[in-house]
Amino acid sequence: MTAPGVIIIDPILPVWVLALVIFAVAYGAWRTYRACALTGRQRWVLWALRLSAVLILAWLMLQARRRTVRVEEELPVLAVAVDVSASMVDNPGKARQTRRDRAIEFLSSGRVRDLEGRYRVVRYAIGAELEEGVADPADIRFNAPRTHLGTGLNRIVDRLRAENLAAILLLSDGLDQSGERLTPQSLRVPVFIPELEDPFDPETRVETDYWVAEISHPKMMAVHWKAGIDALVRRHDRGATAFPIHLKQNGTIVRSSMVTFAEEETFRQVTFSVEPVEVGQILYRIEIAPEVDLQDGNNARDFLIEVTDPKNKVLYLEGVPRWEFKFLKRALLSEKNYQLSAYVRGGDGSFINFDEIRGQAGGDVPALTTEGLSAYRVVVLGDMEGSALTEDDCRNVRDFVDKGGGMLLVGAGKAYGPQGFGSVSYLGDLLPAVSEAGAGMREGRFTVDITPMGRTHPALGELPLESLLPPLLSFWAPVRVGQFSSVLIAAADGSPVVVVRRFGQGRVAMLLSDSLWRWQLGGMDGGADKSLYNRFVTQLVHWLAPSAKDVEKSALLQIVTAGSQVELREKVTIGAVYDAVEGASALTCRIATPGGQTLSFPMLGATLGRDVGLSRTVDGFRCTFTPDEPGTYDVAVSSSDGTQSATMKLLAEEPELEQTGEPIQRAYLSELAQETGGQLVAWEERNRILRELPHSTQEFTRTLETSVWNRWWWIGVLIGLFCVEWWWRRKLDLV
């Protein structure tokens, strides 16, 4: 409805001034034309032209505008929300129609389409996220992995808070996984819900499953060492329960305990202590015995631990005898706790035993096999090309370190050059640093010092007490230090000299100088301690060699997640718990995707709980990511210096579509309708709620103002009047 318009003026000059001007111009013009020799008709025409121009100018100066008031009615808004989670295709009651079928039938009915004549209908899809603009009912894909119903309803009300929202028509099974209650604003909007499933008595089905998910254990230890073995037991169940768990050695139970689950607890960790008494590979098994289990094929896991001789045996392989070989060998032989087997490479490429007293002698060729390396704690590789070792040798050395052994690299141009260890398979993965283009041995006199990391690192022991380290005559540069490596000693320009890292359960150290042996000589600056080199070598090798203390704790750093199987586009929380992380102030999570990308996330300190599957809160670190492609994700969490790390695999699959076999949640839907003042009706009464939807229009007044003076044709008329008057005056020979 539109009210009659009114004219509003906003004059530039007061109206009385404009009226006075019009009167003065009209009077003056008339007096002028009356005094001229004109006929009456000519006099009136000229006077009318002049007066019309003045009146138009006065009208323009009034700046008139037209104001129109229009009263309009606004249709109420009806939000139609459809649950598009996969549980909508579930059919636990074996009904003729699934929830999906009924939802599509309802949306496609003529009565629902007729609502658009009475309401402004806005459609939404509710899954893990809220999406506006539902497609044709037949094209809706019910495949969302989660139903965040409470969150979705709150967001609908928030988006339409400025609209005349009459009600929400909800088509859902009520399997809400958001845990979010309706806000006070949402409670004021009635929710009307037709039941998409008829009541039925679900059969009682047991879906309980318990399994041994992960085992953390040392891969290498010595006779009479004690070590902890952590077993992670997961389950698909909810109630509180307890059952036995056994640790078996070669088929015989050696330890037993109880796994106790509280209600809603999804996993528990159990620790066993072992102390092997003989050398060799020992087969262990973790086995659980739940009373009720859906699948018993995953109730046990086997693992091997290599048990070695408790003596600290060191294997040293060198290219050709050199000063570094001589003094390193003497330093290790001076330590009574170590047994050294040193070999040099002969002219034919084979290794021969080297003895300073008897000279070179053949025989005792080292066997770099799994069994041969198990007798040693540390392997030292000198200056030789990577081809000096076979591919099998390199693989066995890599596995030796991965299981907990130590490796010391004391190379030079051959070992670190283009044909060195970095160019061969398996050994390249172990290097704490790799050579850059143009790398070579720099010679001169170089000042070196212990880095801040080195002053607190156990690999240097009491060495940081030295006020001044002797200078070096050479170091290999430039090199690129690995992301998990730590520089312990560096030159004055920052070039690394001693670099260390962790690899698996083992440790690797790399000496990037072939003149460290001169520390043994002393007197270079008149004050170096003659035992400095011996102390440096023995402390470094002691750190490299696994000890009983190192394996007492089998899980210094542990990754925890709510599950090892996730769904695409589901936010995954990754937590890390540790007792003591050597030199670490932060953790980093790196995730290798199935597509070959590597994602890096900083892990921030947080309190971990149910978000990572823990029933009790603990302090740790946390980060989140969302898988967007199916496949296996390799997750690696490491400390900032790489001294501690843990890995796990996450399998991302297409959603299992939330099909739990549960009936629709009538209690939740009924409470939702009751709290908001809506209705939950049986399927047969679905058309009734369409008639009972609240409908109240809102009237609002719209005022429109349009200017009526600033039109181009006013200027045209004015110019036309002036032109006609001028033409007529000229025709009458008037000035």
Per-residue pLDDT tens for 496-505?
999 998 887 7
Let me know whether 169 and 280 are in one domain: no
Within its chain, how far is the Cα of 570 from the centroid?
11
pLDDT exceeds cutoff 60 at 355:
no
Give CA–CA dist 670/681, Å, rounded: 9
Give CA–CA dist 318/331, Å, rounded: 15
- Burial of 422-461, coded b for 16+ CB within 10 Å and e otherwise, reads bebebbeebbbbbbeeebebbeeebebebbebbeebebbe
Give the CATH number of the domain where residue 160 resides: 3.40.50.410
What tens digit of pLDDT does each residue of 429-451 get?
889 999 998 899 999 998 899 88
Let me know whether 149 and 56 are in one domain: no
Give CA–CA dist 82/124, Å, rounded: 6
Is the separation of the CB atoms in 345 and 351 below 8 Å? yes
Phi, psi angles (nearest 5°) of residue 711: -110, 145
Give the CATH number of the domain where residue 462 resides: 3.40.50.880
Give CA–CA dist 616/560, Å, rounded: 13
Let me know whether 507 and 442 are in one domain: yes
Let me know whether 627 and 724 are in one domain: no
Q: What is the pLDDT of residue 642?
A: 59
pTM recorded for the entire structure: 0.49
Amino acid at 131: E
Half-sphere CA count of 393, side-chain side, radius 13 A: 15
Let me know whether 246 and 270 are in one domain: yes
Which range of residues forms the domain containing residue 362?
Answer: 312-550
pLDDT exceeds cutoff 50 at 471:
yes
Residue 14 CB: number of other CB atoms within 10 A?
9
Let me know whether 669 and 641 are in one domain: no
**Counting beta carbons within 10 angstroms of the beta carbon of residue 113, is it exposed (0 to 12), middle (13 to 18) or buried (19 or more)?**
exposed
Q: How many domains does the chain have?
A: 5
DSSP state of 693: S
User: Which among 257, 276, 308 is the end of a domain?
Assistant: 308
pLDDT exceeds cutoff 70 at 3:
no
Q: Which two tokens stand for residue 111?
A: 């009565």
**Counting beta carbons within 10 angstroms of the beta carbon of residue 682, is it exposed (0 to 12), middle (13 to 18) or buried (19 or more)?**
exposed
| CA distance readout (Å), 426 to 411, 415, 578, 671 | 17, 15, 29, 63
Q: Which of 217-226, 306-315, 639-648 has the lowest mean pLDDT?
A: 639-648
Residue 659 counted as domain residue: no
User: How high does pLDDT run on average in the chain?
Assistant: 82
Q: What count of residues does the chain have?
A: 735
Q: What is the pLDDT of residue 654?
A: 64
Let me know whether 712 and 691 are in one domain: no
Let me know whether 322 and 362 are in one domain: yes
Q: Which two tokens stand for residue 260?
A: 């106790």
**Sole residue written with tokens 């967001």:** 155
Is the separation of the CB atoms in 166 and 76 below 8 Å? yes
Let me know whether 344 and 464 are in one domain: yes
Residue 502 counted as domain residue: yes
- Burial of 273-307, coded b for 16+ CB within 10 Å and e otherwise, reads ebebeeeeebebbbbbebeebeeeeebebeeebbb
Largest CA distance in the chain: 152
Residue 658 counted as domain residue: no
What tens digit of pLDDT does each residue of 36-49 get?
877 888 888 888 88
Let me know whether 90 and 157 are in one domain: yes
Let me know whether 113 and 244 are in one domain: no
Let me know whether 333 and 280 are in one domain: no
Average pLDDT over residues 589-609: 89
Cross-strand bridge partners of residue 665: none
Would you state the torsion angle of the CA atoms of residues 545, 546, 549, 551, taken in this order, to the nearest 10 degrees?
Answer: 170
User: Which among 550, 576, 592 is the end of a domain?
Assistant: 550
Is the separation of the CB atoms in 351 and 344 below 8 Å? yes
- Whether cis (ω within 30° of 0) applies to the bond prior to 478 is yes
Helix, strand, or coil (residue 469): coil
Q: What is the pLDDT of residue 592?
A: 92
